Amino acid sequence: MLLLTVALWVKFATAALMLKPQLSADWVNEVRVIGLAAGLLIFIPVRDLSRPARTYLAMMFVLAGALFARVVGDYSPMDDLVRLFKWPHGQLSTFTSLTRYLHEVWPVLVLAYLIVHFVSGRGRDVR
């Protein structure tokens, strides 16, 4: 919970730093707050499950999140995205490309780790 809280505040701070002032307030909208609250409510009963069950659920949630982001994701042209920020366009273009690449790769890496963890039985407990 501490890691998630710190990550959330770092994300808020970097959004306020990078986005144009009129767009910083729009970044935190109702949908993001509802998603964060739903995630925390799901976390409470899931933490009492056995490790294999949590690993399996983590795989399903990562798959669902990646699929959902792909289906409803906003992959607008680079020029439209760069206009939201107050950084120089050259720097931001490189940063945005790297961010999109990581957005595509991280679910695959997480799934590979979780599958190995689930199949190897390293996390088995007796619950």
Residues 27/19, Cβ–Cβ less than 8 Å: yes
pLDDT bucket at 23, cuts 50 / 70 / 90: low
Return the H-helix or E-strand segment holding 76.
none
- Separation of alpha carbons 115 and 52, rounded Å: 11
What angle separates helix 89-120 from helix 51-72, to the nearest 10 degrees?
Answer: 150
- Residue-wise pLDDT tens digits, 72-97: 766 655 555 556 666 655 556 566 67
**Res 82: pLDDT:** 58
pLDDT bucket at 7, cuts 50 / 70 / 90: confident
pLDDT bucket at 2, cuts 50 / 70 / 90: confident
